[in-house]
Amino acid sequence: MKWSPQDAMKAYLHTLQLCKTHFNDQDCTFGTRNLIQPQCMEFISALAAGNQAKLMVQITSDQGITPLTIALAVAAKHTKARFICILHQLQDIEDCKAQLSCYNLEDVVELVHGDPCELIMGFKNIDFAVIDCKLEDYLRLFKIIDVNPRGSVVVASNLERRRNGASFGEVVKGRKGVEYVTRSIGEGMELTRIRLCCKPQKKRYKRFHVTFES
């Protein structure tokens, strides 16, 4: 994954502006809770855009559209990436589109509904994924999701709802030829970055001849 500082900065500033503009906007809320909350969202958006992620997938539980949806949608808008949001519960897709329209992002997100474990099988080499740990089958999703081994990022949200302490990195650590690093980012979120292991290069010795003329 090649890093683009320009796209990262654009996505960061765009998400930050949405946080400032809509934080007190009552038309884009779920009840009394604002949709956009400045909790690592700018970082997530910048990371996805900066890494030039071409395929992004978010799997939600019962929350529908979340701040993470907005963050990834902003990144997709700047990089023209494909972004699929899998809705586990039977949310009204038109209502979700209306919420996204508050941020002019309704045309960026592909909203689909169904069993996440079945739907995720249809996507290969995912560059950036967000998985809600409130889902009962989140561990199975960790095991079956097909991420890009050359460079990908998986964000696990709602960690406090996990039934055990397994992280995505711990699930993939047994895969050959892959290395990973997992870090906590903000409250209740964890980020795992995956890439191929670099094979140690053999040292090459150069030989040269010196000729002395008498």
How far apart CA 73 and CA 104 sit, in angstroms, is 10
Topology (CATH) of 5-196? Rossmann fold (3.40.50)
Q: Are residues 147 and 123 in contact, defined by beta-carbon separation less than 8 angstroms?
A: no
- Three-state SS at 182: strand
Locate the domains of the chain by residue range.
5-196
How far apart CA 151 and CA 169 sit, in angstroms, is 14
Q: Is the pLDDT of residue 28 over 70?
A: no
Give residue 100's pLDDT. Answer: 92
The string over 151-189, giving b where at least 16 C-beta atoms fall within 10 Å of a residue's C-beta and e elsewhere, is bbbbbbbbeeebeeeebbbebbeeeeebebebeeeeebb
Over residues 164-180, the mean pLDDT reads 73
Model's pTM, two decimal places? Answer: 0.83
The pLDDT tens digits of the residues spanning 51-62 come to 999 999 999 987
Give residue 146's pLDDT. Answer: 94
Average pLDDT score over the chain:
82
Strands 128-132 and 189-196: unpaired
The pLDDT tens digits of the residues spanning 96-108 come to 999 899 899 999 9
Q: Which residues contact 109 (CB under 8 A, 6 or more apart)?
A: 69, 73, 76, 83, 84, 85, 100
The pLDDT tens digits of the residues spanning 121-151 come to 999 999 999 999 888 889 899 999 999 988 8
